[in-house]
Amino acid sequence: MVIADRRAHNVYQITGNGSSFLKDRRHDRPKMSTGAVESGSANLRWGVAKRLEFIEFRLVWYGRLNRRELMDEFSLSPQQASSDIALYEKIAPSNLEYDKNEKAYMRTKNFNQKFLRPASDRLLLQAAGIRSGWLAREDTWFSELPPIEVSGLPRWPVDTKNLISILDAIRSRQQVEVNYKSLSGSPAGPRLIAPHSLIQGAGRFYVRAWSEEHNDFRDYNLARIDSVGHESPSPIDSGLDYEWHHLIDLIIAPNNNLPEQKQAAIADEYGMDDGRLVVTMRVSLCFYLMTENNLDIPLGVLKPEKQQLVLLNQEEVFEARSATRRLSKEALARVQLRNA
């Protein structure tokens, strides 16, 4: 196994089968979608483009739009709202038609999105967010919420003041004193951490940080941070967090103890290619994906229905986590020795 140092390009040879499944995080960064399709809004002013996106949103998800909705959402005059609808109709003439009985513009059967990418997940997440209470309806373009319920345990919200302090520390590369409720056996009380990134995993939000107490990089549940105190310059380079800065491919497949029909349904659900799903992620985040989907449990311990997915390269993933963690601890120990 070969691991590359992201800063100096030094190469470390780690015991293993020699497979190069670790990748430097700086390459192949995923690009985030803006939600707008360039062909529709590239030559429009931002305000106009947003209003046309709203028109399309209502047509896509509600099948209809009237002028009053546009006026109320953007505080427009009747003339401006009519002008925006006419502009949309000029750009996408086959997308809408006026129904005199409904007194509204209706989505046509030949509808083709021009301003919004097909984003069903975005709509579902927003609807779930509103239903859960962490997103306000007025922050979205919903006029009415589709029937939806959210299943899950309630989570104590992250303190806004604490989050601001953590983000400030990340931006300025500071270490901060936090009061943290640990479940790992560490005594309660203040501790010094140097945060560098946020994480969302298994339904919770964490901060990735160096811990002075353990001289190691760890994840801290943001909801368990009671307070954030004094700031000071961090003595640790976050580039030494090798678990964070390296990627690994998780090769996932349907549990072969399931009937073939169910295996095929699972493969379709996850968009697998030839019955395989390759998920590339940071080594440090594998833990969350594995525990959330029972990928860390040996095959046969659970009923196939309780373990629908299996990790084909489980040994490699465990080896990668161990190797990168060991590299970090060794590098941090050298820094501590130099600073002693």
Query: In the sheet where 216-221 sits, what is the strand order?
Result: 216-221, 204-211, 190-201, 174-180, 225-233
Q: Which of 19-33, 114-128, 256-270, 293-307 has the lowest mean pLDDT?
A: 19-33
* Cβ-based neighbours of 28, under 8 Å, separated by 6 or more: 247, 280
Q: Which amino acid is it at 306?
A: K
- Backbone φ and ψ for 175, nearest 5 degrees, come out as -105, 150
The answer on pLDDT for 2 being more than 70 is no
pLDDT digits over 41-73, tens only? 557 899 999 999 999 999 999 999 999 999 999
Q: Is residue 14 within 8 Å of residue 91, measured between CB atoms?
A: no
As a whole number, mean pLDDT of residues 112-117 equals 89
Q: Tell me, what's the pLDDT at 117? A: 80
Q: Tell me, what's the pLDDT at 41? A: 59
Which tokens belong to 38? 């360039």
Q: Tell me, what's the pLDDT at 305? A: 94
Q: Tell me, what's the pLDDT at 42? A: 59
Helical (H) or strand (E) element with 294: none
d(CA 135, CA 125): 10
As a whole number, mean pLDDT of residues 199-219 equals 94
The answer on pLDDT for 210 being more than 80 is yes
Coil, helix or strand at residue 230:
strand
Q: Tell me, what's the pLDDT at 39? A: 52
Residue 252, beta-bridge partner list: 277, 311
As a whole number, mean pLDDT of residues 305-309 equals 95
pLDDT-based confidence at residue 177 (cuts at 50, 70, 90): very high
C-alpha distances in Å from residue 335, one per residue of 176, 191, 230, 238, 271: 19, 19, 23, 12, 45
Computed from CA positions of residues 10, 16, 19, 24, in that sequence, does the dihedral angle turn out positive or negative? negative
Helical (H) or strand (E) element with 273: none
DSSP-assigned letter for residue 13: E
Nearest Cα to 156, choosing from 193, 209, 205, 227?
Answer: 205
DSSP codes joined into one string, 120-188:
HHHHHHHHHHHHHTSS-GGGS--SSPPS----S---PPPPHHHHHHHHHHHHHTEEEEEEE--SSSPPS
The answer on pLDDT for 82 being more than 50 is yes
pLDDT-based confidence at residue 74 (cuts at 50, 70, 90): very high
pLDDT digits over 16-41, tens only? 333 334 444 433 333 333 344 445 55
d(CA 331, CA 174): 20
As a whole number, mean pLDDT of residues 293-298 equals 93
Q: Tell me, what's the pLDDT at 40? A: 57
pLDDT digits over 213-263, tens only? 999 999 999 999 999 998 999 999 999 999 999 999 999 999 999 999 999
d(CA 94, CA 18): 57
Q: Tell me, what's the pLDDT at 59? A: 95
**E-assigned strands of 113-203?**
174-180, 190-201
Rounded to 5°, the CA angle 224-172-289 comes to: 45
Which tokens belong to 223? 């909801």
Q: Tell me, what's the pLDDT at 29? A: 34
d(CA 285, CA 142): 33
Neighbours of 317 (CB within 10 A): 23
As a whole number, mean pLDDT of residues 169-183 equals 94
Q: Is residue 223 within 8 Å of residue 158, measured between CB atoms?
A: yes
Q: Tell me, what's the pLDDT at 185? A: 67
Residue % of the chain over a pLDDT of 90: 68
More confident residue, 39 or 195: 195
Q: Tell me, what's the pLDDT at 6? A: 41
Q: Is residue 36 within 8 Å of residue 53, measured between CB atoms?
A: yes
More confident residue, 132 or 214: 214
- CB-count burial class (<10 Å; 0-12, 13-18, 19+) for 241: buried
Residue 265: HSE in the Cβ half-sphere, 13 Å Cα cutoff: 7
Helical (H) or strand (E) element with 104: strand 104-107
d(CA 67, CA 65): 7
